[in-house]
Amino acid sequence: MHSRHLKTWIKRMPRRWAFSLRDLLARDLLDAQADYSQLFDRGRATSLLLFEHVHGESRDRGQAMVDLMAQYEQHGLQLDSRELPDHLPLYLEYLAQLPKEEALGGLQDIAPILALLGARLQQRESRYAVLFDLLVKLANAAVDSEKVAEKIADEARDDTPQALDAVWEEEQVKFFADQNCGESEISAHQRRFAGAVAPAIFEYL
């Protein structure tokens, strides 16, 4: 979006959102990149991989990504990035190529996940929370905010050093257990993502 159009768009939105967006856009690039990585690349609670919040590490996630990739290809889109197909920015880029009604439906499919991510980011006092609020608003979807609040109320942070260490130790245990069974965690992951993507996507919350 052209910067002039973006400024005009920001002026038209509610003041709370406008202030948050201006603050985000005015940040130093390196600081913004560091915050982004800290928020979205550590832990699963705020992961931008959509199927992380639906299938977790189950085998269903691999098939879901294969199906999503097929959707992309049906619309003439080929991935030229290293991101997985369920990466939120990539999925939004896909929706932007669709007719308005189809794009709205695709956004509504993930609205519960967007609301959940937005609530978690708000809980962490992140400036990025406003972007998820905007996406839910654009989806025009009925999301039970009380149910979302209940879900995250007692969640333990999974991005602390202690939590990350615990996950690493758990993965090590799984790795060696799988080796003893004749299959490593690595080969399991390779098989799971071997065609690399998701269907008519989410039944959630």
Residue type (1 letter), 198: A
Residue type (1 letter), 177: A
> What's residue 189's pLDDT?
38
> What's residue 110's pLDDT?
93
> Does residue 186 contact residue 94 with C-beta atoms inside 8 Å?
no
Integer angstrom CA distances of residue 26 from 9, 19, 20, 30: 16, 11, 10, 12
Q: How far apart are CA 105 and CA 139, in angstroms?
A: 8
Task: Write out the DSSP string of 159-170.
Answer: SSHHHHHHHHHH
> What's residue 205's pLDDT?
45
Residue found under tokens 């931008």: 48
> Does residue 115 contact residue 149 with C-beta atoms inside 8 Å?
no
> What's residue 108's pLDDT?
93
> What's residue 114's pLDDT?
93
How many CA atoms within 13 Å lie on the side-chain side of 152? 22
The encoded tokens of residue 14 equal 């509610």
Q: What is the DSSP letter of 143?
A: -
Q: How far apart are CA 36 and CA 55, in angstroms?
A: 24
> What's residue 91's pLDDT?
94
In terms of residues, how long is the chain?
Answer: 205
Q: How far apart are CA 37 and CA 205, in angstroms?
A: 27
pLDDT mean for each 10 residues of the chain (205 residues): 52 62 77 85 87 82 89 86 87 92 93 92 88 89 82 70 50 45 41 37 40
> Does residue 158 contact residue 168 with C-beta atoms inside 8 Å?
no
Residue found under tokens 């003041």: 15
The encoded tokens of residue 83 equal 């991101």
